[in-house]
Amino acid sequence: VGSNCGSIIHHFTSFFWQAPRNPSVNDIMFENQPIQLLSTVGLLVAFYGIKVLYDVYCWFKLHPSLASLPGPRRYPILGILPYMAQHAEDWPEESIRLSNKFGKTWGGPYPVNKVNTCLFMVDEASIRHVLSENSNNYEKGDGSRSFFRELLGNGIFLSDGDQWFVHRKIMSKMFSRNLLRRTSEVIQMKLEQIASLLLNAMETEEQYVGSAEPRISLDLQDIFFRMTFDVTSFVALGCEIDSIGTYGAEGGQHPFAEAFGQMQEAILQRFGDPFYKLKRVLQIGSRERRITVLSRTLADHAASIINDRRRTIEDGSELGPDILTRYLEYSKRNNVPMSNEELKDVVTNVLIAGRDATACLLTWSFYELSKRPDVIDKI
């Protein structure tokens, strides 16, 4: 539809206003195209109409335990979704406030996933029950896979059952002595780059003391995200991205790193939008179109690295200790073909695990320290 949009619109108007005198095969084909297109849209609208009716049914047929489940204000059909959307910008703080308020598992109806329920567990026993003692009964499910599909695919964060165990088996062997040694060397190199950035900023700042020129500022969060992305890309891909090296440059981030960050932001914007699937299919709205473009960018960059690693294995060259290499070795040793798409999913899952948590922790640590000069003096 996208590639023939102009032709479809032209023949769509001709269909209603003026038919060609001597219609060709193409004319006949495009005369039927508007009807087919309208039929497809009609089916999608009908499908979502049924989905809404199903949600209404589920609202009145809630599990008995949900009636006594504490949580924020609930709305008919939409459950706690409006409340979560209202606090989208400060949800971490709000969820902590509610957890402290209720002191136990809380949540409410949530018409986005298959079970139409969202639970927040805060006590140790419940978390152990779900993640360890009875984990087979708690799957990520098709809803989560559909929501994060373009970013995480079928990686370890969204896989269930046997597929999850394969990921876990390979990942558990990643922490070899050789990989940890090489990772430590990369971290040291990145810290030296950051120290150089800070020293250069301090020297520049001294030049403007007493002048009207604006003071020098550095975005520590951006620097930490670049550092953790560089380190994790080495662990996952065995390659040097060098995001820190481009800090402050006109070119900005490395294309792969930039696309990765933008994809995360775009995917998270789907929260609070129960119609994101329809928008994704019809490519409605700038967000879904942007996700499609970013998905291709990530796939292209990952494919380039993966194909290069495949050639290295075929040539019998010395391999590195990175995770991508371990997956390729597993594939070759067990005669289990793995596509570039599957390997790309592995890479993006590892990048999220290694980048975000550490970068956020470092950023908040420095923020809290900036408010406590007495602690800084002790350090």
Question: φ, ψ for residue 60 (rounded to 5)?
Answer: -85, -10
pLDDT of 370: 92
pLDDT of 211: 62
How large is the average pLDDT for residues 155-174? 81
User: If pLDDT is split at 50, 70 and 90, which confidence band does 26 have?
Assistant: very low
Contact 8, 40 (CB under 8 A): no
Contact 143, 112 (CB under 8 A): yes
Q: How many other CB atoms sit within 10 Å of the CB of residue 359?
A: 21
What is the third-level CATH fold of 172-205+217-377? Cytochrome p450 (1.10.630)
How large is the average pLDDT for residues 289-298? 92
Look at residue 12 and tell me whether its pLDDT is greater than 60. no
Q: What is the DSSP letter of 66?
A: H
Task: Determine which helix (DSSP H) or strand (DSSP E) holds 26, and give its type and residue range.
Answer: helix 25-60
> What does pTM read for this prediction?
0.68
Query: How many angstroms separate the CA atoms of 302 and 151, rounded?
Result: 12
Between residues 272 and 204, which one has the greater pLDDT? 204
Between residues 171 and 376, which one has the greater pLDDT? 376
User: If pLDDT is split at 50, 70 and 90, which confidence band does 376 have?
Assistant: very high
Q: In this predicted model, what pLDDT tens digit does every residue of 104-125 receive, in sequence order?
A: 899 988 766 555 678 899 889 9
Least confident of 66-80, 156-170, 197-211: 197-211
How large is the average pLDDT for residues 260-264? 89
On the 0-12 / 13-18 / 19+ scale of CB atoms within 10 A, 307 is: exposed
Look at residue 4 and tell me whether its pLDDT is greater than 50. no
How large is the average pLDDT for residues 161-174? 79
Q: Where are the domains of the chain?
A: 36-138, 172-205+217-377
Please, what is the Cα angle at 278 between 138 and 257, to 5 degrees?
Answer: 70
Question: φ, ψ for residue 138 (rounded to 5)?
Answer: -120, 95
How large is the average pLDDT for residues 90-108? 92
How large is the average pLDDT for residues 345-351? 85
Query: How many angstroms separate the CA atoms of 122 and 84, rounded?
Result: 18
> What percent of the chain has pLDDT above 70?
77
Average pLDDT, the chain: 79
pLDDT of 76: 78
Contact 30, 52 (CB under 8 A): no
Q: In this predicted model, what pLDDT tens digit does every residue of 203-218 receive, in sequence order?
A: 877 766 666 566 678 8
Look at residue 19 and tell me whether its pLDDT is greater than 60. no
pLDDT of 36: 63
pLDDT of 291: 94
Q: What is the DSSP letter of 88?
A: G
How large is the average pLDDT for residues 342-368? 88
- The DSSP string of 132-161 is IITGGG---HHHHHHHTHHHHTTSTTT--H
Look at residue 42 and tell me whether its pLDDT is greater than 80. no
Contact 101, 144 (CB under 8 A): no
pLDDT of 18: 40
In sequence order, the β-bridge partners of residue 75 are 79
> What percent of the chain has pLDDT above 90?
19
Q: What is the DSSP letter of 116?
A: -
pLDDT of 283: 93
pLDDT of 374: 94
Look at residue 95 and tell me whether its pLDDT is greater than 90. yes
Look at residue 348 and tell me whether its pLDDT is greater than 80. yes
Radius of gyration of the chain (CA): 26
Least confident of 69-78, 81-90, 114-123, 228-237: 114-123
